[in-house]
Amino acid sequence: MNEAQIGETLLYLALLLGLTYLVAGVFERVHIPGILAALFVAMGVHYTPLGDQLLASGPAGDFLNLLAELGVLFLLFYIGLQIDMQEMRGLSGDIVWLTALNTIMPFLLGMGVMLALGYGWVLAFIIGVTRMPTAEAVIVPILDEFQLIRTRVGEFIVGAGVLDDVIEVFLVAIVSVWIGEKAGTGAAGVGGQILGIVVGVAVFVLVAWVSYRWLLAPLSRWLPKRPRNLIMLAMVALFGFGGFAESASLGMVVGAITAGILMRPVFNKAGAAGETATHAVQAISYGFLGLVFFLWVGLKVDLSSLVQAPTLAILLFLAAFVGKLVGVFLMVPMKRLSVREAWIIGIGLNARLTTEIIVAQLLFNAKLIDVNLFTALVAASSLSTILVPLLFTLLVRAWGPQLRAAEPETG
């Protein structure tokens, strides 16, 4: 980027953040988290010449994408700092049940919709799998705004969201393998690709364990325990685990949350310096990078695609939305969730972001789906991006005090 392009990009960013600041003031007065203002500002900008420029490949768009990726890292790193592994272990069995149910049900409904519309079994299977993942990065800032991260609801959403991220890895792998087979180039590499993912997961877990037991605590004593030194070490952990997880095909979301979980004991032992460092991470996450992330999400929302393929888009949206709710509500008669918890968790786990759009783009580029199905997949994702944060916020506002009173079980 030359000086003129840098100046132009900074002005664009100032405009977007300025509009977000003004709209956030309105949102806060009606008790809606201000961070959602960035989402709706960007949705409006999407249909302007500025939106076209930011979405196009170029200096401004590339810079915004980079900041958005950093926003995901910082938001989820901060969430990781809030997670107590003792509490998470107490819910681990229920989290596994929740993940299984809230992925199987939308998969079956999505596959059923495709088969009912006359699509083949293989494509129905692939589209069914796209109904499964969750974008917890969209929901956890709202949880944090209402101080629900350290509640049962927060632990369930974060825990199931992380397991969903692992499912996303295999989703993209399955689609890539299928595309390769259709092109006559991928059959021989199926076993190697799956083996590579499994090995990557194992090595990642091993490195995280070694860092937790023998590395991060001694490193935190290398320099005086001041906030700036703790943040420096935290950035090493964040970028290290984020990059490692991305290289191991796990995704940097898993790496960011893991880094936060591993750094929490270090911050706790640092006392006041650790608390100050935590507040600094929160400030940069919610005051800048997190806002840029929500701006980036809003720019991706394309409501015109919903007009072009309304019926199929709504059916795909409902397959995921209803499927996840049904899966979560199955845990109510099992006495693992209350009805209110099921509503909050079910809607929270319906957050969508990029995975299904990435898969749709891969299939469309390989000419394995037509433009109507591609448009419907994008529209269904856009519909989720708009509705889920709003519904989630309304329910959390109504039931937040009761949910905060329900402490996570540590048995």
Structure tokens at 378: 């994008």
Q: Is 2 helix (H, G, I), strand (E, B) or coil?
A: coil
Please give the Cα distance from 11 to 1 (Å, whole number): 14
* Residues 262, 393: Cα–Cα separation, whole Å: 29
Alpha helices in 289-370 (DSSP H): 290-300, 304-308, 310-329, 339-348, 355-365
Residue 410 has a pLDDT of: 43
Q: What is the pLDDT of residue 82?
A: 82
Q: Which residues of the chain have pLDDT under 70?
A: 86-91, 166-194, 353-355, 358, 362, 406-411
Secondary structure (3-state) at 25? helix
pLDDT in tens, 161-195: 877 776 666 666 666 666 666 655 554 455 566 67
Find out whether 257 and 77 touch, Cβ atoms under 8 Å. Answer: yes
How much is the pLDDT for 411? 41
Give, rounded to a whole angstrom, the gap between the first and last alpha carbons of the chain. 55
pLDDT given at position 146: 86
All domains in the chain, ordered by first residue: 71-405 (1.20.1530.20)
pTM of the entire structure?
0.79
